[in-house]
């Protein structure tokens, strides 16, 4: 299955006849559902695409800790604080599995970190929006983790073994995160008028950025066609966005909240919700660094890296002494 299924602006996907023998054998393995492992031969484009996607994904997990970490000291109860700390720690763990998966492709963790800190590497646009109220923590769990799961469940079947295996564990944890976010929203919606208004305000601000998480529309997606041919991606950006809307609108109804889109309407013929157009100008502005918190996020990651220099130096000094002792003892 390598035919181009989505309208994409990326390079045309080669047909089997256009491939050399090695590429064809590789594509046939993918088509047969056989996982590719790090030591297997792979086309350079496949390796580069995976490094790009997995490292961006890892960076998103790491930067994604910042908006939520902001509320750890202000969580309304001890239980909520403990749950939020655990969630933020989980995100760090996801980043680590993903950096390890990318390292199997020959890129170093130091290089990936440098690319994030210099602003060269991308991370998800969603984390460039501020968390203004406690309801934002509910909305992130419900919507952002909800969108992440929608995107990541198919990634468990990704053709590259280490990425696919990392996603199995990540998805289990994300499901818990989504439930805790929805639980916060339920409590707020069952609370006072002011609490319900706070929940609606959070939904108003996070709805469209959540839809943007799935990437540009299929017409503008550069990588989708090739990534789907290689079974790195299983679904196109628009297909996943539609599934997310179909799943989330009834959840908003249950809470008694309304997504900020007057065009949302059940379409009986399609068996899906119609919805309005994402503001793509805003999406590309945020991706290019012009979102409300892009500068703050990069500054926070750079500060964390600089502040951790003494610890990294200490670890290296300890490792060198330990190695020297080992050599002396031999
Ligand atoms: N934000 O050709 P396209 C989480 C870029 S975090 C920024 O469609 P592709 C969580 C794209 O990279 C969720 N950039 O690309 C953590 C490309 O630029 P480059 C993170 C975006 O790769 C903490 C260009 O636009 N999840 O779970 O086929 C707390 C053209 O796009 C975005 C992942 O990373 C965006 N939203 O598809 C809570 C999942 N969208 O690289 C939750 C793994 C697109 O050419 N990644 N771009 O410079 C993917 O599934 C895919 O990479 C995407 C994009 C669907 C995101």
What does 172-197 look like in DSSP terms, one character per residue?
HHHHHHHHHHHHHHHHHHTS-HHHHH
Q: How far is the CA of 123 from the centre of ligand 1 (A)?
A: 7
- Supply the pLDDT for residue 9: 55
CB within 6 Å of ligand 1 — which residues?
52-53, 56-57, 60-61, 64, 91, 122, 124-125, 144-145, 148, 151, 212-216, 221-224, 227, 233, 237, 287
Average the pLDDT over each of 7-11, 45-49, 154-158, 225-229 and give the range with the smallest value.
Answer: 7-11
Closest ligand 1 atom to the C-alpha of 91? Answer: 23
Which stretches does DSSP call E strand in 214-321? Answer: 265-267, 272-274
Pocket of ligand 1, candidates 6, 123, 124, 178: which has the most ligand atoms within 8 Å of its Cβ, to mutate? Answer: 124
Cα-Cα end-to-end distance for the chain: 56
Q: Using CA positions, which residue lies closest to atom 43 of ligand 1?
A: 57
Q: How far is the CA of 215 from the centre of ligand 1 (A)?
A: 6
Q: How far is the CA of 80 from the centre of ligand 1 (A)?
A: 29
Q: How far is the CA of 89 from the centre of ligand 1 (A)?
A: 22
Closest ligand 1 atom to the C-alpha of 124? Answer: 1
Q: What is the pLDDT of residues 81-131, one digit of tens each?
A: 999 999 999 999 999 999 999 999 999 999 999 999 999 999 999 999 999
Q: CA 279: distance to chain centroid?
A: 20
Q: How far is the CA of 329 from the centre of ligand 1 (A)?
A: 50
Q: What is the pLDDT of residues 255-310, one digit of tens each?
A: 999 999 999 999 999 999 999 999 999 999 999 999 999 999 999 999 999 999 99
Closest ligand 1 atom to the C-alpha of 54? Answer: 43
Q: What is the pLDDT of residues 23-56, one digit of tens each?
A: 999 999 999 999 999 999 999 999 999 999 999 9
Rounded mean pLDDT, 52-62: 98
> How many Cβ atoms from other residues are within 10 Å of residue 323's Cβ?
10
Task: Give the pLDDT band (50/70/90) at residue 18.
Answer: confident
Q: How far is the CA of 52 from the centre of ligand 1 (A)?
A: 9
- Hey, what's the torsion of the CAs at 97, 145, 151, 288, to 10 degrees? -90
Rounded mean pLDDT, 211-215: 98
Contact predicate 168/156, CB 8 Å: yes
Place of tokens 């989980």: 90
Q: How far is the CA of 265 from the centre of ligand 1 (A)?
A: 27
SS3 28: helix
> How many Cβ atoms from other residues are within 10 Å of residue 218's Cβ?
18
Tell which residue, 260, 259, 256, 126, has the closest CA to residue 195: 256
Q: How far is the CA of 289 from the centre of ligand 1 (A)?
A: 14
Contact predicate 13/229, CB 8 Å: yes
What's the whole-model pTM score?
Answer: 0.94
Q: What is the pLDDT of residues 133-165, one digit of tens each?
A: 999 999 999 999 999 999 999 999 999 999 999
Alpha helices in 32-144 (DSSP H): 44-63, 65-69, 78-103, 109-117, 134-139
Q: Using CA positions, which residue lies closest to atom 8 of ligand 1?
A: 221
Q: How far is the CA of 60 from the centre of ligand 1 (A)?
A: 9
What the block records as the tokens of 56 is: 């961006």
> How many Cβ atoms from other residues are within 10 Å of residue 46's Cβ?
23
CA 232 – CA 175 distance, rounded (Å): 22
- Supply the pLDDT for residue 3: 38
CA 54 – CA 61 distance, rounded (Å): 11
Closest ligand 1 atom to the C-alpha of 227? Answer: 28
Q: Using CA positions, which residue lies closest to atom 44 of ligand 1?
A: 215
Which stretches does DSSP call E strand in the chain? Answer: 265-267, 272-274
pLDDT of 1 over the 60 cut: no
- Cβ partners under 8 Å of residue 188, min gap 6: 134, 135, 138, 195, 196, 198, 199
**What is the C-alpha R_g of the chain?**
22
pLDDT of 213 over the 50 cut: yes
Place of tokens 């930067």: 63
What the block records as the tokens of 42 is: 């792979």
Place of tokens 């706070």: 198
- Supply the pLDDT for residue 10: 61
């Amino acid at each position: 299955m390598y035919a181009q299924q989505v309208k994409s602006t990326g390079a045309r996907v080669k047909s089997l006849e256009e491939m050399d023998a090695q590429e064809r054998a590789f594509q046939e393995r993918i088509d047969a559902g056989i996982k590719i492992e790090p030591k297997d031969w792979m086309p350079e484009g496949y390796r580069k695409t995976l490094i790009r996607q997995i490292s961006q994904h890892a960076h998103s997990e790491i930067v994604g800790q910042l908006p939520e970490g902001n509320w750890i000291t202000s969580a309304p109860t001890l239980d909520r604080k403990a749950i939020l700390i655990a969630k933020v720690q989980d995100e760090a763990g996801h980043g680590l599995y993903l950096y390890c998966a990318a390292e199997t492709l020959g890129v170093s963790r130091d290089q990936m970190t440098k690319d994030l800190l210099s602003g060269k590497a991308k991370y998800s646009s969603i984390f460039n929006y501020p968390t203004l109220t406690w309801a934002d923590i509910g909305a992130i769990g419900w919507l952002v983790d909800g969108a992440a799961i929608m995107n990541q469940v198919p990634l468990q079947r990704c053709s590259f073994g280490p990425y696919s295996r990392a996603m199995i564990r990540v998805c289990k944890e994300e499901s818990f995160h989504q439930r805790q976010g929805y639980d916060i929203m339920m409590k707020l919606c069952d609370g006072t008028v002011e609490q319900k208004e706070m929940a609606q305000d959070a939904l108003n601000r996070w709805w469209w950025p959540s839809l943007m998480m799935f990437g540009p529309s299929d017409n503008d997606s550069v990588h989708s066609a090739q990534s789907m041919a290689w079974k790195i991606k299983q679904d196109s950006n628009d297909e996943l966005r539609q599934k997310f809307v179909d799943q989330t609108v009834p959840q908003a109804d249950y809470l008694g909240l309304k997504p900020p889109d007057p065009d949302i309407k059940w379409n009986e013929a399609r068996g899906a919700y119609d919805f309005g157009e994402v503001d793509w100008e805003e999406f590309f502005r945020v991706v290019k660094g012009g979102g409300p918190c892009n500068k703050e996020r990069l500054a926070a990651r750079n500060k964390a890296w600089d502040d951790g220099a003494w610890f990294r130096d200490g670890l290296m000094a300890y490792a060198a002494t330990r190695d020297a002792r080992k050599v002396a003892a031999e």
